[in-house]
Structure 1
Amino acid sequence: MYLPRAFAENDLAALDALLARDSFVTLVTVREGEPMVSHLPVLYARDGERIELRGHWARPNPQSGHAGAALAIVHGPHAYVSPGWYPDKEAAARVPTWNYAVAHLHGQLHTYDDEAALAQLVDELSRRHEAAVGGDWRFEPEVEAQRRQLRGIVGFRFEVERATLKFKFNQNHPVANREAVAQRLDALDDARSHEVAALVRSYLPDA
């Protein structure tokens, strides 16, 4: 990932926030020169520098046979920024840009199809996401019809070896430009733009 120094984020708490906001990742592997991509919900855990993702594929997904080196992409909020918002737009000949947060996690995939481990994974995933929508569905491994469904998935554990975070929020601009961008984003009727406005402000010198 192209990462100018101004946009490099080194605090892993920022990664915590990204995955708390949206734990649906893009998982990329390569076999025989061909990239394979899946889009998957994951469970995230971090203990200091140790980072782990857990999730599963449908068994027919070709990526379920992959192990070893992989890349997980974590997507954060993003928004278009008009050059017309900058106070110095004419003097500095400003151009359009896009503000965004993203993380690239490089590491090793380990797969498994042990029934007990898959049951625990599905239970944890469903509890987390049911709670988020006010639901009460629970995976019941003692119910044969539900337990049979585990045969249709393959679990994975992704051990992260390197995390690269890019938080691009006009840090390379004068403070007046950054404040103006935050104000204009806040004025839009769009929750995602409001998220970006808050992040622009979080990188202001006195934030």
Structure 2
Amino acid sequence: MTYLPRSFAETDLAALDALLAQDSFVTLLSVDDSGAPFASHLPVLYRRDGDDVLIEGHHARSNPQVKHRGEVLMIVHGPHAYISPGWYADKLEAARVPTWNYAVAHLYGTLEPFDDEASLADLVDRLSQRFEASIGGDWRFDPGNEAERVQLRGIVGFRFRPQRIALKFKLNQNHPAANVRGAIDGLRRTGSEREQAVADLMQSRLHRRGS
């Protein structure tokens, strides 16, 4: 579970689409047989049809998480930024303090593993298409290359259809509009790409309030 105040809860799955379009490198958490948490960090492919979400990826075959059969938590990371109380319109009278704004998604469900060569080859090919395009590259998996097919023995694929999705967008929704505008202006002045992304999210939520 995660702490999710109502004012920060996002219900539109288009917000999940946007997070994974921006950053599809996720954290996958499980609990091992001893009760200890275990984490893997993985690139994934994502698609959604209405409320049905499918996420695909793979582990190294030697990763102990491959054997896990219980519930997992997948964390999708969005932009985040420090918010100075000096940016708020009511900083003095309300005795405002620093905070951190961020967007994140927590997805709960079970993994569906697979390791047949045809499915793994298809997955690796689609992963390479997705990420090579993002850097202007052209590498593709060649199923006719025996040396490349052998590499598939070192991985185990998974499909993940989350049964529960919690979207937390903490973007000063609990503040007066003047404070939000002040924080947006402060973030814009930093010039950092990450801060600009948070400012964009804050601006979109402010528009929803009609402010």
TM-score of the alignment, normalized to the shorter chain, above 0.5: yes
**Distance (Å, rounded) in 2 between the aligned partners of 1:55 and 1:103:** 17
Residue 27 of structure 2 is matched in structure 1 by: 26
Cα distance, 1:52 vs structure 2 = 1.3
CA distance in 1, matches of 2:18, 2:191: 23
Unmatched tracts of structure 1, length 5 or more: none
One-letter identity of the residue aligned with 2:24: S
Summarize deviations over 1:91-114 as a string: whole Å, max 9, x none: 001000000000000011111110
Aligned pair partner of 2:38 in 26, 36, 39: 36
Alignment correspondent of 1:121: 123
Equivalent runs, 1:1-207 vs 2, <5 Å: 1-32=2-33, 33-204=35-206, 205-206=209-210
Give 3-state SS (helix, strand or coil) of 1:88's partner: coil
Q: TM-score, structure 2 length as denominator?
A: 0.96
User: Any idea what the Cα deviations from partners look like across 1:57-104, whole Å, max 9, x if unmatched?
Assistant: 111111112223111000000000011111111100100000000000
CA distance in 2, matches of 1:181, 1:7: 17
RMSD (Å) for aligned C-alpha atoms: 0.9
Secondary structure of the residue aligned to 2:93 is coil
Whether the 8 Å contact between 1:83 and 1:94 is mirrored in structure 2 is: yes
Distance 1:38 1:11 in 2: 27
Deviation at 1:182, TM superposition (A): 0.4
- What residue identity is the alignment partner of 1:4? P
- C-alpha separation between the residues in 2 aligned to 1:58 and 1:179? 46
The alpha-carbon deviation at position 189 of structure 1 amounts to 2.1
CA distance in 2, matches of 1:68, 1:124: 27
> How many residues are matched?
207
CA distance in 2, matches of 1:183, 1:84: 11
Q: Secondary structure at the match of 2:140?
A: coil
Residues 186 and 193 in structure 1, CA contact (< 8 A), matched pair in contact too: yes
Encode CA deviations 1:12-32: one digit per residue, 9 max, x unaligned.
Answer: 000000001111100011122
Cα offset for 1:34?
Answer: 1.6
* TM-score, L = length of structure 1: 0.98
Name stretches of at least 5 consecutive residues in structure 2 with no aligned partner: none
Equivalent AA in structure 2 for residue 58 of structure 1:
A
**Percent of aligned positions that are identical:** 63
User: What amino acid is the match of 2:16?
Assistant: L
Q: Distance in 2 between matches of 1:148 and 1:68?
A: 29
Contact 1:68 1:110 in 2 (8 A): no
Output the CA distance in 1 between the equivalents of 2:159 and 2:22: 21
Measure, in 2, the Cα distance between the counterparts of 1:67 and 1:120: 23
AA matched with 2:59:
W
